[in-house]
């Protein structure tokens, strides 16, 4: 069976030649993950551009959409789900509100609190962006069988879960 060759193989060969004293084995996995992440960012940018969204906007809108009807969360819940500071979230909600994609409303359970709610327009935008994202991501996985995709997901979960448990942010 012919083994596929990629740019990381070239990088590893060069490091092994130049620094034979180093064990570059971690690069076998993590350089590929890094390069895949870059390609995923580009694919996501393409998917979101159809809706004139940036990645951060999709993150906020999709957190609200995943919350289910009535598609609202507190700013604190949004901060927790998107891993940004409260100041950053305020700025993001302001920008999305100006575009008519979200609205703020008083929290009926806390007189001092507010809830951020996805508007109908926001829901349409995030739903269309999500559909395009799925198309982009499926195309990236076409060379892997369903079983390979399941195995890869399980391995990545084993790698990621302990890291997230140690440092959730």
CA-nearest of 24, 34, 52, 27 to 128 is 52
What span, in angstroms and rounded, lies between the C-alpha atoms of 122 and 111? 25
How do residues 49-99 score in pLDDT, each as one tens digit?
Answer: 989 999 999 999 999 999 999 999 999 999 999 989 999 999 999 999 999
Q: In whole angstroms, what is the distance from residue 167 CA to residue 16 CA? A: 32
Positions of E strands within 61-146? 72-73, 102-107, 110-118
Q: State how far the Cα of 47 lies from the Cα of 124, in Å rounded to an integer.
A: 14
pLDDT tens string 91-129: 999 999 999 999 999 999 888 899 999 999 999 999 999
Same domain flag for 14 and 32: yes
- Same-domain pairing of 38 and 58: no
- Count: domains in the chain: 2
Q: Are residues 65 and 37 in the same domain?
A: no
User: Are the beta carbons of 59 and 117 closer than 8 angstroms?
Assistant: no
pTM listed for this prediction: 0.83
| Domain hosting residue 5, numbered range | 1-47
């Amino acid at each position: 069976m012919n083994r596929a060759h990629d740019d990381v193989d070239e990088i590893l060969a060069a490091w092994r030649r130049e620094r034979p004293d180093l064990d570059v084995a971690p690069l076998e996995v993590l350089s590929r993950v890094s390069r895949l992440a870059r390609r995923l960012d580009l694919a996501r940018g393409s998917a979101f551009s159809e809706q004139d969204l940036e990645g951060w906007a999709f993150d906020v809108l999709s957190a609200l959409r995943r919350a289910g009807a009535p598609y609202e969360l507190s700013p604190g819940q949004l901060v927790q789900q998107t891993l940004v500071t409260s100041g950053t979230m305020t700025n993001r909600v302001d920008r999305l509100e100006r575009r008519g994609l979200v609205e703020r409303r008083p929290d009926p359970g806390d007189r001092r609190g507010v809830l951020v709610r996805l508007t109908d327009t926001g829901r349409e935008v995030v739903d269309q962006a999500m559909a395009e994202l799925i198309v982009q991501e499926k195309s990236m996985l076409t060379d892997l069988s369903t079983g390979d995709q399941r195995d890869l997901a399980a391995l990545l979960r084993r790698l990621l879960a302990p890291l997230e448990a140690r440092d959730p942010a």
